[in-house]
Amino acid sequence: MSLIKRNIEYPIFVLIFLVFTLLNRFGVLNDYVMQVVQLACIYIIMTESLNILNGMTGLSSLGQAGFMSVGAYVSAMITTTFINVNAMNPVMQVVMFIVVTLIGAIVACVVGVLIGMPAMRLRGDYLAIVTLGFCEVIRTIWRVVPARIAGAAFGLTGIPKLANFFWCYLFMLLAIYACRNFMDSSYGRACLAIRDNEIAADTMGINCFKHKTIAFATSAFIAGIAGSLYAHLLVYIHPDVFSYAKSSDFLVYLYAGGVGSISGAMLGALALTVLPEILRFLGNWRLVIYGMLLLIIILFRPTGMFGGREFAFLKLKTGGIKTFHFSTFTHWVKGLFRRKEKEAATAK
Amino acid sequence: MANFLQLLVYGFQLGSIYALLAIGYSMVFGIIKMINMAHCDFLMMGCYIVYFLVTVVFGGAELIGPAVALLIILLGSSAIGMVGVGIERVAYRPLRKRPTIMCMISAIGVSIFTQNLFRALPFIGPTPRYFPVLIEDFTVNVGPVGISFTRIITIILAIIIMLILWYVIENTKIGMQMRAVSNDKDAASLMGVNINRVISATFFIGAFLAAVSGTFYATAYPVVQPTMAVALGNKAFIAAVVGGIGDIRGAVLGGFVIGITEILITSVWSAIAYGFCFLVLIIILLFKPEGLLGKPMTEKV
Amino acid sequence: MKKVFALVLALVMIVALAACGSGSSGSSSVPDTIKVGVMGTMTGEQAEDGKNIQGAIALIQQELDAAGGLQVGDKKVKVEFIFGDTEAKPEQAVNVMQKFLNQDKVIAVIGPNNSSDCLSSYEVSQAAGVPAIASTATNVRVTAIGDYCFRACFIDPFQGLCMANYALNECGYKTAAVLSNQGDAYSTGLMESFVQAFEAGGGKIVANEVFAGTDVKDYNAQLTKIKNANPDCIFIPNQNNMVINMCKQILDMGITCQLFGCDSWDYDFLAKEEVTQGAIYTSGYAKDITTAKDFYDSFVALNGFEPGFPSAMTYEATKILFNAIQNCQSVDGAALRDAIAATDMDLPCGHLSFDADRNPVKDCAIIQITGIGERTYLTSVSAS
């Protein structure tokens, strides 16, 4: 009981889930809304994974779609090509779903480490380009794998629809709490230090290589889970779905919501997934207005819609918004000028 | 052997187009340290403006000679240059104090906006249009290989532009100001350099070059569509990085490297050609993190 | 305070999505206004298809207005068309299908035009029991999803067979080369069926080249190999925006053999280009088919551009649906499904009936581009 009293948000999560499910059952919220909400949950998970890399460790990554595709394809291949899950009874289906999601996430994690290890020497924008390159290389691999196994140009059809609102919601909550715990742990604090000033962190004895690898691994793992959910929700995946455009979508969600904060990532993903659907009444001009709104959000609220603050229920002890610089060189120059001004002031 | 030489020639032809566009990416990154994702849209807008000037105002390419065509290209590209300056003022200037990745997001927004605007406007519309033939193309046969005349012009143009820009940046006052701003923005402004003017000039030149390269791109691949330049932009961007972003010679070199690699790999296993170029990029960056001609970035503590 | 605001904002967005969901579940009698969903690629690389689709629906609307509505039994019913843009992304197609089914409460769906979009969104319509008729999706697996999935066009194996037989028998070619898009289901499927049929008929495929997706614009390396193999003809099963580039590069390289295409070549702007002159392609629609004359004249009169395969197929799919509604006099999903499956009617492109796999049994037209803007109908291959 005291557990509930201390963490009042747990019953609230259950309540939100029940409200959504009941409203859907009684027809107030139709399946279209639920589809968009489930998609938003998956994108929230993806944006959280990007937040671990970008917001917490300062590693700009344009390759999240690649990790997502690894999770999606590996889990879908198992349930569709290798084992016929549709023939099993419902309990076994649930077990299989959890198992393939974990397998997909672990494979994505391995890929993430393999990609991260050589790429870590690079700074800032170069890292973004290399991760973009890896994303496209993975996409080419899925195109070349024979069609019998992974569908290639035809895409993988007939994936059993094992993901529903419960799983999307549950994994979203688990992902948010995983990110929260990561941020509050010693790993997370090391990553924040690396983000702020890598050389200083190195000087203080933080093993940058090890922590960056951990960040890549965690981020890829979470992205793999989201990929598996995506495949089993949409029951059809195609290599072109996981392209560079999708990676840049996640980047936009993260920055529009407020980089570095878990709640910001959540809100950015939710708002920008729902926005194009709301704008459907505009017909041909839908994406034009969407682009304009995006520009307005970035120009008038550069710290993101949520401004880098966190929800209270996350009970974070570290974190919060810091504008971080890709190039510590400019940071150093700014610091140099500030000191010079102070010296000039005191000299007078 | 003749086959291999012919493929090399095709690679040079493709690389020249990447080089022209990569120069723009390199210049903008060199000055304000920002990857302009909307650069490929300047190319698309340049193509559309020249297309409309030729077909609507002049009634078709048969009636105009090469001199008038050149004038139209210069006029259209200058217009796109002004559009580039305008976009910089609206979308990038307010974010100058922020981390550069915010400018990148803003560029993504600009890109979505312009591509869909051009598709939604009824008189421009989604219908792919055939770019009018401004330069009569014929194949020059040097021994066993055939080179297209327009491509020769494109290669020469890329090299000439590179030399002109090199001269401007090394020997003129505005070039010196550009170098100062790219080295240290705050110190340059303290020295009396008008940062806004320099950055606007950079964007003007970048957009102008993109529009000119767009005309030559459309002469070679004459389908004009709002989404025509997206893939090209990605490739040119990789080319700029491979060569060493911030350096114009590097952009041209990177363009040719990527073009030749793509054609050679396509002739061996065409299915992986697109991904293989990215692999080449990754390998080059892993061994030389600043690109082929880039200067290593030193960090002082 | 800001956090409360943010939470409220999130909840408001979700409620906004749920807004305007109107009433009735499927009833067995025909209401006074019926809603039909039309899905297609209105934006993106294939936005030209969207223009054709909208033109065809505009023609249907004009015919309905002239007749005062759709005659079902003894009353006239108003038909409302709702458009949805799939952006050629399977995920968007699912969203649009969900919106059609749940928010707009359509009775049937026309489209999408893209095989990938069909494969993802027809799972939803099949599960919901709403019939859907694909306009130009030619991939075989689309109708295999379930018994509520139909299509108005022929399937890729048939199209590849027609083209291969025409090349072998009518033109007498012995060798062929193919250049297909390795990232596109339509292109790859058509390539496979052509190769199979050509080789089964005694021909030889001397070069089978692919390129890696719509991003590639330079085909010189592949074309060099094709030129060296010296084929009698080249088969180019690709989307309309890539065809012009390919034809130009083929001409520049000095390859003069016959070019063969497929239904994605059937657009008026393609026939107007110099580089495509002389090419022969298969299509479900040709303006010179006697029964298609009226359709052609009214389409041009209303829209100002000539119709192509997508417009014809959208028009026919809608006609099939209307015919089914008139026959079974109901908008119930199961009744409509049975009525559509039993269709046996004459359409602008010829006689149409559905086979056991819900694919239409109809003729395939062979068309040649004989002049600027001129598409000449050569012959028809019947499905039997």
Q: Cα distance from C268 to chain B (closest Cα, Å)?
A: 10
A contact chains, 3+ CB pairs < 8 A? B, C
pLDDT over 90 (residue B152): no
B295 at the A interface (CB within 8 A)?
Answer: no
Query: Cis link prior to C112 (omega < 30° from 0)?
Result: yes
* pLDDT band at residue B175 under the 50/70/90 scheme: confident
Are A268 and A305 contacting, i.e. CB atoms less than 8 angstroms apart?
A: yes
Of A130, A252, A285, the CB nearest to B285: A130
Q: Of B98-102, B131-135, C8-12, C228-232, where does mean pLDDT reach its minimum?
A: C8-12
Are A86 and A292 contacting, i.e. CB atoms less than 8 angstroms apart?
A: no
Q: How far is CA B119 from CA A27, A201, C47, in A?
A: 37, 49, 8
Per-residue confidence (pLDDT) for residue A340, from 0 to 100:
52
C212 at the A interface (CB within 8 A)?
Answer: yes
Can you point out the beta strands (E) in C87-171?
A: 108-110, 132-134, 149-151
Cα(A28)–Cα(A36) distance, integer angstroms: 15
| CATH number for the domain formed by residue range(s) C31-154+291-299+308-362 | 3.40.50.2300
Q: Of A115-119, A205-209, B82-86, C313-317, where does mean pLDDT reach its minimum?
A: A115-119
Q: Kindly list the residues of chain C whose beta carbon comes within 8 Å of any beta carbon in chain B.
A: 43-45, 47-48, 50-51, 182, 209-218, 220-222, 224-225, 228, 240-242, 244-245, 248, 252, 254, 269, 272-273
Nearest CA in chain C to B120: C43
b/e burial code for range A176-188 (CB count within 10 A of at least 16 → b): bebbbebbbeebb
Tell if the CB–CB gap between B99 and A129 is shorter than 8 Å: no
Per-residue confidence (pLDDT) for residue B62, from 0 to 100:
67
In sequence order, the β-bridge partners of residue C365 are C283, C380
Domain boundaries, chain C: 31-154+291-299+308-362, 156-283
CB contacts of A154 in chain C (<8 Å) are 139, 141, 185, 188-189
Cα(C38)–Cα(C93) distance, integer angstroms: 11
Of B6, B127, B271, the CB nearest to C210: B271
Which of A275, A227, A264 lies closest to A78, judged by CA?
A227
* Best residue in B32, B102, B237 for a mutation probing chain A (most A CBs within 10 Å): B102
Of B37, B278, B297, the CB nearest to A329: B297
Tell if the CB–CB gap between B237 and A129 is shorter than 8 Å: yes
Query: What 3-state DSSP class applies to C355?
Result: coil
Task: Give ∠ CA C326-C329-C334 in degrees, rounded to 5.
Answer: 110
Cα(A53)–Cα(A59) distance, integer angstroms: 5
Handedness of CA A294, A300, A305, A309 (dihedral sign): positive
Cα(B251)–Cα(B240) distance, integer angstroms: 4
Angle, nearest 10°, between helix axes C185-200 and C156-165?
Answer: 40
Per-residue confidence (pLDDT) for residue C383, from 0 to 100:
63
Of B37, B101, B274, the CB nearest to A140: B274
A313 vs B233, more confident: B233
Q: Cα distance from C203 to chain A (closest Cα, Å)?
A: 25
Q: For B238-284, how does the pLDDT look when each residue is reduced to its tens digit (9 = 90+)?
A: 898 888 887 888 888 999 999 999 888 888 887 788 888 888 888 88
Token reading at A93: 């289906």
> For residue C68, is it left (φ>0), alpha (ψ between -120 and 50) or beta?
left
User: Which fold would CATH assign to domain B2-125+145-287?
Assistant: ABC transporter involved in vitamin B12 uptake, BtuC (1.10.3470)
Q: Of A50-54, A143-147, B48-52, where does mean pLDDT reach its minimum?
A: A143-147
| CATH number for the domain formed by residue range(s) C156-283 | 3.40.50.2300
C171: which DSSP letter?
S
Q: For A72-100, how does the pLDDT look when each residue is reduced to its tens digit (9 = 90+)?
A: 999 999 888 877 777 778 888 888 899 99
Of A122, A137, A332, the CB nearest to B289: A122
Cα(C173)–Cα(A261) distance, integer angstroms: 66
A279: which DSSP letter?
G
Q: Residues with Cβ < 8 Å from C333, sequence gap 6 or more?
A: C26, C107, C128, C129, C130, C131, C148
Q: Which helix (H) or strand (E) holds B3?
A: helix B2-32
Amino acid identity of residue C29, one-letter, is S
Q: Cα distance from C346 to chain A (closest Cα, Å)?
A: 33
Tell if the CB–CB gap between A334 and B186 is shorter than 8 Å: yes
Per-residue confidence (pLDDT) for residue B250, from 0 to 100:
87
Q: Of A50-54, A224-228, C135-139, where does mean pLDDT reach its minimum?
A: C135-139
Q: Residues with Cβ < 8 Å from B292, sequence gap 6 or more?
A: B242, B243, B244, B250, B253, B254, B257, B284
C306: which DSSP letter?
-
Token reading at A164: 């529903």
Task: Give ∠ CA B230-B255-A325 in degrees, rounded to 5.
Answer: 70
Token reading at A191: 């990553």
Token reading at A193: 């230090």
Which of A326, A304, A328, A64 lies closest to B105, judged by CA?
A304
C364 vs B107, more confident: B107
Q: Residues with Cβ < 8 Å from A50, sequence gap 6 or more?
A: A61, A64, A219, A250, A251, A254, A265
Which of B130, B148, B128, B146 lies closest to B138, judged by CA?
B148
C188 at the A interface (CB within 8 A)?
Answer: yes
CB contacts of C112 in chain A (<8 Å) are none
Q: Cα distance from B114 to chain A (closest Cα, Å)?
A: 7
Tell if the CB–CB gap between A326 and B101 is shorter than 8 Å: yes
A336 vs A168, more confident: A168
Q: How far is CA C159 from CA C137, C192, C258, C282, in A?
A: 12, 11, 18, 7
Q: C156-283: same fold as C31-154+291-299+308-362?
A: yes
H-only helix segments in B184-229: 185-190, 195-220
CB atoms within 10 A of CB C256: 9
Of B7, B128, B274, the CB nearest to C241: B128
Are A87 and A222 contacting, i.e. CB atoms less than 8 angstroms apart?
A: no
Q: Kindly list the residues of chain A whose beta carbon comes within 8 Å of any beta carbon in chain C.
A: 28-33, 35-37, 39, 140, 143, 152-155, 157, 161, 234-241, 263, 267, 270-271, 274-275, 277-278, 280, 283-284, 286-287, 305-307, 309, 311-312
Cα(C183)–Cα(C163) distance, integer angstroms: 22
Nearest CA in chain B to C209: B270
In sequence order, the β-bridge partners of residue C134 are C151
Task: Walk me through the domains of chain A, giving residue ranges and CATH numbers.
Answer: 2-347 (1.10.3470)
Per-residue confidence (pLDDT) for residue C336, from 0 to 100:
86
* Residue ranges of chain C whose pLDDT lies below 70: 1-29, 44-45, 383-384
Nearest CA in chain A to B230: A245
Residue B296, class by beta-carbon neighbours within 10 Å (0-12 exposed, 13-18 middle, 19+ buried)? exposed
Which of C317, C335, C324 lies closest to C37, judged by CA?
C317
Q: For A315-331, how does the pLDDT look when each residue is reduced to its tens digit (9 = 90+)?
A: 666 655 443 333 444 55
Of C217, C225, C272, the CB nearest to B267: C225
Of A153, A274, A287, the CB nearest to C13: A274
Token reading at C7: 């939470």
Angle, nearest 10°, between helix axes A208-234 and A64-77?
Answer: 50
C contact chains, 3+ CB pairs < 8 A? A, B
Q: Residues with Cβ < 8 Å from C219, sequence gap 6 or more?
A: C179, C211, C245, C246, C249
pTM score of the predicted model: 0.85
Nearest CA in chain B to A259: B102
Cα(A38)–Cα(A167) distance, integer angstroms: 9
C51 at the A interface (CB within 8 A)?
Answer: no
Cα(B25)–Cα(B254) distance, integer angstroms: 12
Per-residue confidence (pLDDT) for residue C384, from 0 to 100:
53
CB contacts of C215 in chain B (<8 Å) are 230-231, 234, 274
Are C196 and C235 contacting, i.e. CB atoms less than 8 angstroms apart?
A: no
Cα(A175)–Cα(A181) distance, integer angstroms: 10
